[in-house]
Amino acid sequence: MSDQTDVPDPGQDENAYVLERKDVSAILYAVDIEDRDQLTKLMEPLHAADIADLLEQINAFDRSRLIRLYDREFDGDILSELDESIREEVIAVLKPAVLAEAVRDLDSDDVVDLIEDLDDAQQEKILEALEDTDRALVEQSLAFPEYSAGRLMQREVVMAPEHWTVGEAIDRLRNATEDELPTQFYHIVLVDPRLHPVGNITLGKLMRSRREVPLADLVEETFQVIPASQDESDVAYAFNQYHLISAPVVDDEGRLIGLITIDDAMAVLDEEHEEDILRLAGVGEESALSDSVRETTKRRIPWLAVNLVTSILASLVIAQFEAAIAQIVALAVLMPIVASMGGNAGTQSLTVATRALATKDLTGANVWRVIRREVLVGLINGVVFAVVMGIVGILWFGSPALGYVIAAAMVVNMVVAGLAGTGIPIVLDRIGIDPALASGAFVTTVTDVVGFFAFLGLAALVLL
């Protein structure tokens, strides 16, 4: 067996692929006693991604000591795998010579990914470490907009003219030097004389075909061309939707300029999901576990401030009914229930709608059916919980009228929750605002305001 057995335990237990605490301790102990040989021995079996995780999980002091002791063993891939939040810190700690060597080993798309979020001084430091040709490739990629296919693609593509035969392609591949080919490739892209991609051929098919077969006979059925300006989230969607392994990237004239492979698309899909979840929760979308207290505080304050404003809005509604509450204190006891149930139902509708928009499942063809469904579901669940709460109200406070009021308010608020939870993200999406970012605050404002108003207003009408 190869040394994959030393990688974090890939067994079937709960903690598959988690770095063992004792391994981390052993590594930190080697750092403590400054035993470079022991450190190198312990780190050697770890994948770059695992080393990056390790660096993220230890504190800044241990991190800088570890990196200094590890020194020349430090690999460029570790930098690629690091969270942006500590990448700058790590680059600052690395000796210039170590940094230069680490970066020179990377593919052009990895260098782009590595430096695009660094400050100018650090960017320049890394660009200087590159050879001239590599530097030119990286700078070309950086000219594309952030989060575009152009940034994501690698420049190295294996292509062949559409009139070639299998034999010609195989000979060309066998005679190419190491530098001419990407480190890994799975397809040959067939191009027409104007460099427009016309099809993909898998290496498996190429190998199994006779030399005289025209390449054009072997193209795959599924083939997608990605415009360089396309948003990377759409790239990830296309790979997932059409089960692509690699896809050629073209410029505005449709000419082949690069290639995106599925592993990069998978990484984008993972990041996009992460951002969606963090946005829905009102945490800055670039939050990382290794952020400092200061960064974390700063990222979260805006969302809490929005929430403060919306909850003051709800309080203003309550303030309109001070007289009613002064007479029947039970209203103050029960009113949070109506608001909370509405908020919950609204969040349910909202999450489903936001996800469906992100996955392109909610379109013009079904938007009205979905809205109708959510409102109906709100109505039915509203009635169910209205009955329950009506009974609770009667039993608890001995007042059937109070029971009716809370029941009616519950139905109203749950229907509004279904409508607002679906309608708000759809409207935001139409006017070009990310629904995951802003819908939550709007929807809970609506359900709070409507909940308090319906309950207290009905109570003032019926009970006073």
**In the window 71-130, what residues touch a copy of itself (CB under 8 A)?**
none
Strand partners, 259: 154, 248
Closer Cβ to a copy of itself, 93 or 166, answer by number: 166
Closer Cβ to a copy of itself, 137 or 418, answer by number: 418
Of 13-21, 36-44, 96-104, 119-127, the window that binds a copy of itself (rule: CB under 8 A) is 13-21
Tell me the closest approach of the beta carbon of residue 135 to a copy of itself, in angstroms.
24
Which residue in 79, 126, 257, 325 binds a copy of itself (CB under 8 A)? 325
* Cα separation, 441 vs 438, whole angstroms: 6
- Which residues, in sequence order, are CB contacts of 6 under 8 Å at separation 6+? 45, 46
Of 31-39, 120-128, 132-140, 196-204, the window that binds a copy of itself (rule: CB under 8 A) is 196-204
Which residue in 97, 281, 461, 462 binds a copy of itself (CB under 8 A)? 281
Which residue in 326, 461, 462, 464 binds a copy of itself (CB under 8 A)? 326
What mask of x and - would describe binding to a copy of itself in positions 125 to 164, judged by CB under 8 A? Answer: ----------------------------------------
98 contacts 72 by C-beta, under 8 angstroms: yes
DSSP count for the chain of H helices, then E strands: 21, 6
* Cα separation, 61 vs 42, whole angstroms: 20
**Helical spans, DSSP H, in 119-261:** 120-129, 132-142, 149-152, 166-175, 203-208, 232-242
Q: Which of residues 212-231 bind a copy of itself (CB under 8 A)?
A: 219, 222-227, 229-231
232-242 and 262-280 helices, crossing angle to 10°: 120
- Give me the phi and psi of 422, to 5 degrees please: -95, -45
Closer Cβ to a copy of itself, 134 or 285, answer by number: 285
Tell me the closest approach of the beta carbon of residue 136 to a copy of itself, in angstroms.
25
Of 97-105, 111-119, 120-128, 373-381, the window that binds a copy of itself (rule: CB under 8 A) is 373-381
Q: Does 399 bind a copy of itself (CB under 8 A)?
A: no
Listed in order, strand segments (DSSP E) in 138-279 are: 159-161, 187-191, 197-202, 226-227, 246-250, 256-261
Work out the widest C-alpha separation in the chain, in whole angstroms. Answer: 94
Of 68-76, 113-121, 134-142, 279-287, the window that binds a copy of itself (rule: CB under 8 A) is 279-287
Q: Which of residues 165-194 bind a copy of itself (CB under 8 A)?
A: 170, 173-174, 176, 181, 184-186
What mask of x and - would describe binding to a copy of itself in positions 230 to 249, judged by CB under 8 A? Answer: xx--x--xxxxxxxxx----
Of 67-75, 125-133, 135-143, 297-305, the window that binds a copy of itself (rule: CB under 8 A) is 297-305
Of 99-107, 116-124, 132-140, 383-391, the window that binds a copy of itself (rule: CB under 8 A) is 383-391
219 contacts 199 by C-beta, under 8 angstroms: yes
Tell me the closest approach of the beta carbon of residue 121 to a copy of itself, in angstroms.
28
Closer Cβ to a copy of itself, 129 or 339, answer by number: 339
Q: What proportions of the chain, in percent to the nearest 5, are helix, strand and coil?
A: 65, 5, 25
Helix (H, G, I), strand (E, B) or coil at 335: helix
Q: Does 427 bind a copy of itself (CB under 8 A)?
A: no
Which residue in 152, 256, 265, 411 binds a copy of itself (CB under 8 A)? 265
Q: Which candidate, 386, 282, 264, places its Cα nearest to that of 334?
A: 386
Closer Cβ to a copy of itself, 78 or 129, answer by number: 78
Count of chain residues binding a copy of itself (CB under 8 A): 143
Of 30-38, 101-109, 121-129, 315-323, the window that binds a copy of itself (rule: CB under 8 A) is 315-323
Which residue in 351, 413, 439, 447 binds a copy of itself (CB under 8 A)? 351
**Helical spans, DSSP H, in 176-229:** 203-208
Q: Does 387 bind a copy of itself (CB under 8 A)?
A: no
Q: Does 355 bind a copy of itself (CB under 8 A)?
A: yes
Cα–Cα distances in angstroms (integers) from residue 376 to residues 290, 313, 338, 418, in the given order:
44, 28, 18, 8
Which residue in 88, 251, 274, 434 binds a copy of itself (CB under 8 A)? 274
- b/e string for 365-385 if b means 16 or more Cβ within 10 A? eebeebbeebbebbeebbeeb
* Cα separation, 453 vs 216, whole angstroms: 69
Closer Cβ to a copy of itself, 70 or 144, answer by number: 144
Q: Does 380 bind a copy of itself (CB under 8 A)?
A: yes
- Tell me the two tokens of residue 289: 């576990």
Which residue in 67, 318, 411, 415 binds a copy of itself (CB under 8 A)? 318
Which residue in 92, 136, 277, 464 binds a copy of itself (CB under 8 A)? 277
Ordered strands of the 256-261 beta sheet: 226-227, 246-250, 256-261
- Give me the phi and psi of 15, to 5 degrees please: -105, 30
